[in-house]
Amino acid sequence: MKILDQDDLFLPLPDGTRLAARLWRPADGVRVPAILEFIPYRKRDNTLPRDETIHPWMAAQGYACLRVDIRGSGDSEGVFDDEYSDQELRDACDVIAWIAAQDWCSGAVGMMGKSWGAFNCLQTAALNPPALKAVVKVCGTVDRFNDDIHYKGGCLLGENFAWGTLMLSYCARPADPLLRPDWRADLRRRVATLPHLSEIWSQHQTRDDYWKHGSVCEDYSAIKAAVLTIGGWADNYMNAPAHLVENAALAKAIVGPWVHQYPHTAVPAPRIDFLGEMRRWWDRWLKGIDNGADDLPTYRVWMLDSAPPDASAAARPGRWLAESLPSVNVSSHRYTLGRRGDLGGEGTPDRVIATPQTLGAQSGEFFPMGLNGEMPGDQSADDARSVCFERPCPTGLSLLGAAELDLDLTPDAPYALVVARLCDVAPDGSSVRIAHGMLNLHHRCTPPAPLVPGETVRVRLTLDQMAYRLAPGHRLRLALSNSYWPFVWPSPGAVSLRLTAGALTLPVHDGAAPDWEFDNPAPSPAPRLQTLEPGTETRERRIDMLTGAEHLTVTSDSGTARNPDHGLETRAVMVEDWSIHPDDPLSAACTITWTQSFTRGDWSVKTELRARQTGDAAALHLSAHLKVAILGGNAGGVTGTDEGPEIIERNFIAQVARKHV
């Protein structure tokens, strides 16, 4: 089938703003259903390699596929205000209405996306624009406060600052002069209006209306569209698939071993024919083809088998299960935390949780992207510094679902957090994280409140969803800590927790679920972006022998790539440095730099951002300096637009009171 590919399309919104889009559709003029992906990551260069593995193929199956830059990003007009804002979701509904009215569209529209696109397609579905019939979401959440990059169990995550910094850099990128003659004025406006997202997000330390907005768990019944939801066990958005199939009217889920990527290209293997799964979904709900999509198992999951710890695992052994939720194959088993450190033992544990601030170095990234040491590594060193309880598994043990942990804790300060890791311990002592959960103890009650030193509280943690089979002869370990750096920002002071009672409830699977089999993905087309200079990645830990501080430094250099269609060359370099002293939570600091360059001929724009977060007992301190250098040329071949070199700068400084973090 011949496909039309239009890269310079602009979609008009009711307020006059135009959004930049790329459209692939059949060339035969027949009206077809449409599929929208709506994200801020630049269709012109940044997501182009990924887009071209999905949308042209789907267009060849009889669909119109649109990849649209959201307002104020990429080549789109307007001002970016926040993630998943009212404006963004109104725009999504307006775009869907515009698509449905085109003479090449049948009137039926689907929406898809990963991460940001997963969030807004589900949130848009909850608004029920008339033409939206189905969505496919990959790696997203239903709960913006308790299960996203900002907070988890009320704990402030390190990723809150890191991702806010990334968005400062991303939103300061210029539109392409070949598409936007007003690119320079637009760039000035972008820099002048950028929100300091890390500050905004840090200010909202409770589950207030800010976080309820866009959290579809507030009202699952609002979602009328058919939802195919996909997650990965190596990604920290593994919980939404179970929540959706248990609560939404029409939802099916797939959870594989994957990181934060689409499952036809993701690691660890096995990959699946994600495009074929999507086509079946779209054929059923956008074309009305009775193809059995209604009868698919509601919860198809890869049950991981025991394997050595590997932060860059290319594959994970296991098997596909066809399950339903709640599963008839799962039963709850409750194990008390015994005096001798055994799960299911007798007596009072009477342990003190007071772990060094450096514990957590093997926690991995919130959303690992690939084979760059970003997945959780060997947990044994952190286990050795934690309070642990174990249970031997002489015949193995299969788990499916979310474990729950009840604890009686007595703090010696008005603040504290507790982190629980469930680990698979091999006979050689190596330890693999199966699942984790955490709770900021201010959030043990609603509304959140400080602890009373010396007063015992009973709390419950729900750990993340899992599907895992421990090998015979392995041990199940529960490891408890009150630090988890840099995954979690530390408490505002040193604290200890006396543990006097507890119990772990496990979802034990009997192994009776039938196996499932997915088709393998077809080879992806060769990337068309030309690599002028290859990228590099590093991840290093070091200890300052004089101060005792520990540093984790992560670098990512994309290398230089050129688009063969229009000649734009791009490069992005990121450096993160996370440092903390093992005895001092107030020594926690993170410094991040981003450098991005855009070049065509003698035209170039370079953006430089340096951001830092620290804290004292009373406040978080955030700062950033953004510099944009327009280095000359005639705007990439567009005549009459050169105003000469220009420097645009902006500072961001904030102090955010620590009320509940």
Please count the other Cβ atoms lying within 10 Å of the Cβ belonging to residue 294.
Answer: 11
3-state secondary structure of 475: strand
Rounded-to-integer distance, Cα 61 and Cα 435, Å: 39
Q: Which amino acid is at 101?
A: A
Q: What is the DSSP letter of 343?
A: B
3-state secondary structure of 515: strand
3-state secondary structure of 618: coil
For residue 22, tell me if it sits in a domain.
no
Q: What is the pLDDT of residue 632?
A: 72
Q: Is the pLDDT of residue 639 over 90?
A: no
What distance, in Å, lies between the first and last C-alpha atoms of the chain? 56
Residues 451 and 539 in one domain: no
At residue 637 the predicted structure's pLDDT band, cuts being 50, 70 and 90, is: low
Segment 181-200 shows an average pLDDT of 98
Rounded-to-integer distance, Cα 245 and Cα 132, Å: 19
Find the DSSP H helices in 103-239. 116-127, 158-171, 183-193, 197-203, 209-212
Residues 358 and 490 in one domain: yes
Parallel, antiparallel or unpaired: strands 584-600 and 569-581: antiparallel
Residues 487 and 541 in one domain: no
Query: Which one of 454, 473, 508 terminates a domain?
Result: 508
Q: What residues form DSSP beta bridges with 137?
A: 113, 229
Rounded-to-integer distance, Cα 322 and Cα 298, Å: 8
At residue 374 the predicted structure's pLDDT band, cuts being 50, 70 and 90, is: very high
Rounded-to-integer distance, Cα 535 and Cα 533, Å: 7
Q: Kindly give, in sequence order, each residue whose CB lies less than 8 Å from that of residue 527, ignoring residues fewer than 6 positions away.
A: 49, 52
Residues 496 and 550 in one domain: no
For residue 621, tell me if it sits in a domain.
yes
Q: Which amino acid is at 405?
A: L
Q: Is the pLDDT of residue 634 over 80?
A: no
User: Residues 32-70: pLDDT tens digits?
Assistant: 999 999 999 999 999 999 999 999 999 999 999 999 999
Residues 365 and 481 in one domain: yes
Q: What is the pLDDT of residue 527?
A: 87
Residues 555 and 639 in one domain: yes
For residue 209, tell me if it sits in a domain.
no
Segment 73-87 shows an average pLDDT of 98
Q: Which amino acid is at 514?
A: P
User: Residues 86-135: pLDDT tens digits?
Assistant: 999 999 999 999 999 999 999 999 999 999 999 999 999 999 999 999 99
pTM exceeds cut of 0.95:
yes
Nearest 5°: phi and psi at 612? -145, 140
Nearest 5°: phi and psi at 406? -105, 135
For residue 628, tell me if it sits in a domain.
yes
Average pLDDT over the chain, rounded to whole? 96
State the residue for tokens 């961001």.
652
For CA atoms 526, 36, 147, 156, the dihedral sign is positive
Rounded-to-integer distance, Cα 488 and Cα 490, Å: 6
Q: What is the pLDDT of residue 38?
A: 98
User: Residues 388-422: pLDDT tens digits?
Assistant: 999 999 999 999 999 999 999 999 999 999 999 99
Q: What is the pLDDT of residue 642?
A: 59
CB of 490 within 8 A of CB of 313? no
CB of 580 within 8 A of CB of 490? yes
Q: What is the pLDDT of residue 636?
A: 56
Q: Which domain holds residue 344?
A: 331-508
Residues 585 and 623 in one domain: yes
CATH number assigned to the domain comprising residue 456 = 2.60.120.260
For residue 539, tell me if it sits in a domain.
yes
3-state secondary structure of 246: helix
Q: Kindly give, in sequence order, each residue whose CB lies less than 8 Å from that of residue 272, ignoring residues fewer than 6 positions away.
A: 254, 256, 263, 264, 518, 519, 520, 521
3-state secondary structure of 580: strand
Widest Cα–Cα separation across the chain: 82
Q: What is the DSSP letter of 513?
A: S
Is the N-terminal amide bond of 514 cis, ω within 30° of 0?
Answer: no
Residues 533 and 502 in one domain: no
Residues 365 and 424 in one domain: yes
Q: What is the pLDDT of residue 27?
A: 96
Q: Kindly give, in sequence order, each residue whose CB lies less than 8 Å from that of residue 288, ignoring residues fewer than 6 positions away.
A: none
Q: Which amino acid is at 209?
A: D
Q: What is the DSSP letter of 434?
A: E
**Two structure tokens written together for 563:** 């688009």
State the residue for tokens 């039309």.
4
Q: Which of 530, 501, 558 is nearest to 170 (CA)?
A: 558
State the residue for tokens 């909850």.
126
Burial of 332 (0-12, 13-18, 19+ CB in 10 A): exposed
Rounded-to-integer distance, Cα 13 and Cα 9, Å: 13
For residue 254, tell me if it sits in a domain.
no
Q: Is the pLDDT of residue 541 over 70?
A: yes
Task: Indicate the helix (H) or strand (E) that contains 280.
Answer: helix 274-286
User: Residues 421-465: pLDDT tens digits?
Assistant: 999 999 999 999 999 999 999 999 999 999 999 999 999 999 999
Q: What is the DSSP letter of 514?
A: P
For residue 20, tell me if it sits in a domain.
no
Query: Which one of 508, 542, 559 terminates a domain?
Result: 508
Please count the other Cβ atoms lying within 10 Å of the Cβ belonging to residue 164.
Answer: 26
Residues 496 and 351 in one domain: yes
Query: Which one of 508, 538, 553 terminates a domain?
Result: 508
Q: What is the pLDDT of residue 524?
A: 87
Question: What DSSP assignment string belongs to 601-614?
Answer: TTEEEEEEEEEEEE
Q: Is the pLDDT of residue 362 over 60?
A: yes
At residue 644 the predicted structure's pLDDT band, cuts being 50, 70 and 90, is: confident
Burial of 314 (0-12, 13-18, 19+ CB in 10 A): exposed
Parallel, antiparallel or unpaired: strands 560-562 and 226-232: unpaired
Segment 593-612 shows an average pLDDT of 97
Parallel, antiparallel or unpaired: strands 151-152 and 251-256: unpaired
**Two structure tokens written together for 399:** 């788990």
User: Residues 455-509: pLDDT tens digits?
Assistant: 999 999 999 999 999 999 999 999 999 999 999 999 999 999 999 999 999 999 9
At residue 640 the predicted structure's pLDDT band, cuts being 50, 70 and 90, is: very low
User: Residues 273-306: pLDDT tens digits?
Assistant: 999 999 999 999 999 999 999 999 999 999 999 9
Task: Output the CA angle 578-375-477, nearest 5 degrees.
Answer: 100
Rounded-to-integer distance, Cα 277 and Cα 279, Å: 5
Residues 450 and 534 in one domain: no
At residue 643 the predicted structure's pLDDT band, cuts being 50, 70 and 90, is: confident
Q: Which of 320, 332, 357, 274 is nearest to 513 (CA)?
A: 320
Is the N-terminal amide bond of 268 cis, ω within 30° of 0?
Answer: yes
Integer CA distances (angstroms), 162 to 206, 506, 610, 630, in order: 20, 33, 11, 26
For CA atoms 288, 294, 298, 301, the dihedral sign is negative
Please count the other Cβ atoms lying within 10 Å of the Cβ belonging to residue 142.
Answer: 29
Q: What is the pLDDT of residue 306?
A: 98
Instruction: Give the chain's radius of gyration (CA, Å).
Output: 25
Structural domain tally of the chain? 2
Residues 493 and 603 in one domain: no
Segment 546-564 shows an average pLDDT of 96
Task: Indicate the helix (H) or strand (E) that contains 305.
Answer: strand 299-305
For residue 1, tell me if it sits in a domain.
no
State the residue for tokens 């598409």.
179
Percent of the chain predicted with pLDDT > 70:
98
